[in-house]
């Protein structure tokens, strides 16, 4: 693997400091925060490593059994009624924060991690089944609190309630099935790839720099993809259920293009009026019209030495999906 990208290291470090800030605020409240970074062992239904591999935790130096998932939880909260809650802290960007609130999609990886901590803590405290997943918006310092309940008998995790820092609450009907079982299956899949010396399917299309930018194996993962792409099957029969979707896409795409043209036409009318009047801004009814002077950065390659320009240039593949309806013979 390549070294960690500098930006990834900064993002990880930033999230860790957000966690420390949150814990500091909790310590000043009526809640008691304890068992910070406590080691937990979540039992799995089978071994997680390929024999004869052994594992040792880098944090607590504990030898880890082959059939447990070992981790360190953020902590346990004890409220005024002496109820215990597993605490899991996360810090994410604004767009991920809003998607988590809307459940589009739900942060199921966070839910799985929290479920693993609850199940592991139940080895010592069988009646502990609830958790607080506290998510911080790194852009606005807003918070989103998930109250979660893990049912050990049915291996399910339920959202009991969600609360934003502005007081908005919601009780979505969401139950995550087979929480621990799904986590185990991920490790089974990894073992199979290790045994067969193969790679799993890439989770993102080429050109998605932001997720791959956090991965040390990004270059290895995409190495040789152009050759793979050329060898993919062509002119195959696609499932019939996609016919209506293709038709709807072409209709929606055509409508969007027409609306974009109309929007550009109307914008030109307004822009020309403001230029003729030499207005920088103005108001009409409830609408405000503003002209801004902005700058675009560009590079004059003729001023850059050819050897420097050659080293700086990067050619990265990306996929383009085209959907069209060829005309039938005789169709005009």
156 shares a domain with 83: yes
Residue 285 has pLDDT above 80, yes or no: yes
The pLDDT of residue 148 is 99
154 shares a domain with 31: yes
Give the per-residue SS3 of the chain: CCCCCHHHHHHHHHHHHHHHHHHHHHHCCCCEEECCCCEEEEECCCCCCCCCCCEECCCCCCEECCCEEEEECCEEEECCCCCEEEEEEEEECHHHHHHHHHCCCCCHHHHHHHHHHHHHHCCCCCCCCEEEEEEEECCCCCEEEEEEEEECCCCEEEEEEEEECCCCEECCCCEECCHHHHHHHHHHHHHHHHHHCCCCCCCCCCCCHHHHCCCCCHHHHHCCHHHHHHCCCCCCCCCCCHHHHHHHHHHHHHHHHHHHHHHHHHHHHHHHHHHHHCCCEEEECCEEEECCCCCCCCCCHHHCCHHHHHHHCCCCCCCCCCCCCCCCCCCC
Number of neighbours of residue 55 by Cβ within 10 angstroms: 14
Residue 298 has pLDDT above 90, yes or no: no
262 shares a domain with 135: no
110 shares a domain with 259: no
Q: Are 73 and 133 in contact (CB under 8 A)?
A: no
267 shares a domain with 159: no
Per-residue pLDDT tens over the stretch 12-49: 888 888 899 999 999 999 999 999 999 999 999 998 87
Residue 211 lies in a domain: no
When divided into structural domains, the chain yields a total of 2
Q: Which of 154, 186, 218 is the last residue of a domain?
A: 186
Residue 60 lies in a domain: yes
The pLDDT of residue 222 is 82
Q: How far apart are CA 200 and CA 221, in angstroms?
A: 9
Residue 191 lies in a domain: no
271 shares a domain with 151: no
23 shares a domain with 129: yes
The band of 317, judged by pLDDT with boundaries at 50, 70 and 90, is: confident
Residue 205 lies in a domain: no
Residue 317 lies in a domain: no
Per-residue pLDDT tens over the stretch 117-134: 999 999 999 999 999 999
294 shares a domain with 162: no
Residue 324 lies in a domain: no
171 shares a domain with 58: yes
Residue 207 lies in a domain: no
169 shares a domain with 89: yes
225 or 114, greater pLDDT: 114
The residue range of the domain holding 307 is 242-312
The band of 51, judged by pLDDT with boundaries at 50, 70 and 90, is: low
Domain of residue 74, CATH code: 3.90.320
Residue 41 lies in a domain: yes
171 shares a domain with 31: yes
Number of neighbours of residue 158 by Cβ within 10 angstroms: 17
167 shares a domain with 24: yes
pTM equals 0.75
């Amino acid at each position: 693997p390549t070294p960690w990208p500098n930006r990834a290291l900064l993002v990880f470090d930033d999230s860790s400091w957000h966690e420390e800030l949150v814990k500091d605020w909790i310590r000043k409240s009526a809640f008691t925060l304890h068992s910070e970074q406590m080691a937990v062992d979540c039992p799995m239904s089978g071994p997680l490593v390929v024999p004869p591999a052994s594992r040792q935790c880098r944090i607590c130096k504990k030898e880890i059994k082959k059939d447990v998932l070992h981790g360190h939880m953020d902590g346990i909260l004890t409220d005024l009624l002496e109820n215990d809650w597993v605490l899991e802290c996360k810090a994410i960007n604004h767009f991920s924060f809003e998607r988590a609130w809307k459940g589009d999609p739900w942060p199921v990886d966070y839910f799985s991690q929290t479920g693993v901590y609850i199940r592991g803590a139940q080895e010592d405290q069988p009646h502990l089944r609830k958790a607080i997943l506290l998510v911080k918006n790194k852009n606005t310092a807003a918070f989103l609190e998930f109250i979660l309940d893990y049912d050990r008998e049915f291996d399910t995790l339920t959202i009991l309630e969600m609360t934003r820092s502005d007081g908005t609450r919601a009780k979505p009907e969401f139950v995550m099935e087979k929480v621990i079982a799904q986590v185990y299956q991920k490790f089974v899949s990894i073992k199979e790839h290790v045994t067969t010396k193969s790679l799993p399917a890439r989770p993102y299309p080429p050109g998605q720099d932001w997720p791959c930018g956090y991965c040390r194996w990004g270059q290895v993962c995409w190495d040789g993809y152009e050759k793979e792409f050329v060898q993919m099957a062509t002119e195959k029969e696609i499932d019939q259920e996609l016919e209506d979707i293709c038709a709807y896409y072409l209709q929606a795409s055509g409508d969007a293009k027409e609306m974009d043209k109309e929007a550009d036409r109307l914008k030109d009318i307004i822009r020309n009026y403001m230029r003729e009047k030499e207005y920088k801004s103005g108001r009409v009814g409830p609408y405000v019209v503003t002209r801004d002077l902005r700058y675009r950065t560009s590079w004059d390659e003729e001023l850059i030495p050819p050897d420097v320009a050659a080293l700086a240039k990067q050619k990265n593949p990306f996929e383009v999906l085209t959907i069209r309806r060829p005309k039938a013979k005789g169709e005009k």
